[in-house]
Amino acid sequence: MLLIGNQIIINLALIVSTVLTCYFVALKFSGNSRIFNQIDLTNTPFWVIFLFGFFIGLSSLILSNNEIVIFNSFKVDMRYVFIFFSVMYGSIQLGEITTCVVVFGKTLQYLLSGTGGLSFYLNNILLTFLLLAVCILAKKQHYSWKKSLIVFLSFFIILRIFIFTFVYAPLLQPQKLLNLFFYFLIFSSIFLITYVIINMAVSVTNTMNHYKARASTDHLTGLYNRRIFSADLSDTYILSKTSKQAFALGILDIDNFKMINDTYGHQTGDSVLKYLANQMHEFTERKDIYIYRVGGEEFAILTSLSKKETTQILAEFRQQLISHPFVENGHPLPITVSIGMTEFNHLSDIDSYENSDILYVRADKALYEAKRTGKDKLIWF
């Protein structure tokens, strides 16, 4: 019993340390941009992904050689959980590389030692690829973590029972059924415990990032401030060049804001700013449009949506300002905005712009043109 306990602790430690090490190191390589919502290895060079896959695959093989012995030939092999975590926390490509390293290692081990026999070797290889397919399906279908866990465990148990039916025939014997029960109990427990530990660590990191973001918001409107905008614009520009994804940058300015301040006072001016920020936040929430206050009555916009989609959403937003006007002392105060937009497209712009600052200048020119030609409009440059 003590031996089983030690083996369980070793397996837990190896899984958690490997996954978290790879996850946090991967954050340094991934395009960590809110605009594209990517915190994985999708846009990372292949050699980096290969090194991660090789390391995880090697850890899987080490784990496979530290099986948890229940009774004689009944041994719990936890190597399959690395396939799940590499796909779900990383990418499909990472999961494929990890799987190939595991299969190559187990094949080499079989050829050198012949452990388990040919049928057992083939069954385990088949199980490995089938579980990879299940993980890829969960990733592509954007399953929740809860659903992904249930699907993975369900398929694992079903496939394992099918394999054991042939390997340990006849299986319907009290001792074998008891061993099978403990097999699945131990595998499921370790899998779920490692998930909880890993998820808690990732959640703590996300929470820390959240508080860091709160320290970087505009105190009046609650929107991200100019410093965060500059960082996001730079990150998005670099990621757009490497991933070949287009993005749009816009500058929004409240029309006649000086007159509002002079007529109604700065307190009303601040209320107008908060009103506009709230309207923009509520209207663009979950629409992949990010808003920043960059100074005074000026706001910045970043989005990975197409030019057509962005134009439509911002047109609807401007219409909402008309249908839901700002109210001052019970009287509606019409608020209009001018917007200058520009799009960075790798097909036409990658050789024309050395850095993201030039994109800001182009958006600012579009805003100037919107102001010059009558205000209350959106212009693309």
Cβ atoms within 10 A of the Cβ of 168, count? 14
| 221: amino acid identity, one letter | T
Q: Please state, in angstroms and rounded to a whole number, the distance separating the CA atoms of residues 291 and 273.
A: 13
Collect all residues with Cβ–Cβ distance below 8 Å to 40 and sequence separation of at least 6: 26, 30, 89, 90, 91
Exposure b/e, 6-18, CB count within 10 A at least 16 = b = ebbeebbebbbeb
Candidate list 96, 297, 316, 343, residue with the active-site label: 297
Distance CA 233, CA 251 (A): 12
Cα separation of 162 and 158, whole Å? 6
CB 14, CB 66: distance < 8 Å: yes
Of 34, 24, 45, nearest to 229 by C-alpha is 34
Q: Is the sign of the CA dihedral 356, 381, 322, 298 positive or negative?
A: positive
Q: Token pair of 31, please?
A: 């395009």
How many Å apart are CA 10 and CA 151, to the nearest integer? 26
Bridge partners (DSSP) listed for residue 74: 71
Total residue count of the chain as it appears in this document: 381
Q: How would you class 375 by CB atoms within 10 Å of its CB: exposed for 0-12, middle for 13-18, buried for 19 or more?
A: middle
Measured CA to CA, the distance from residue 156 to residue 143 in angstroms comes to 17
Angstrom distance (rounded) from CA 52 to CA 137:
21
Q: What distance in Å separates the CA atoms of residue 306 and residue 176, rounded to the nearest whole number?
A: 59
CB 57 within 8 A of CB 105: yes
Active site residue 67: no
Amino acid type, 254 = I
DSSP at 223: S
**Catalytic positions:** 297
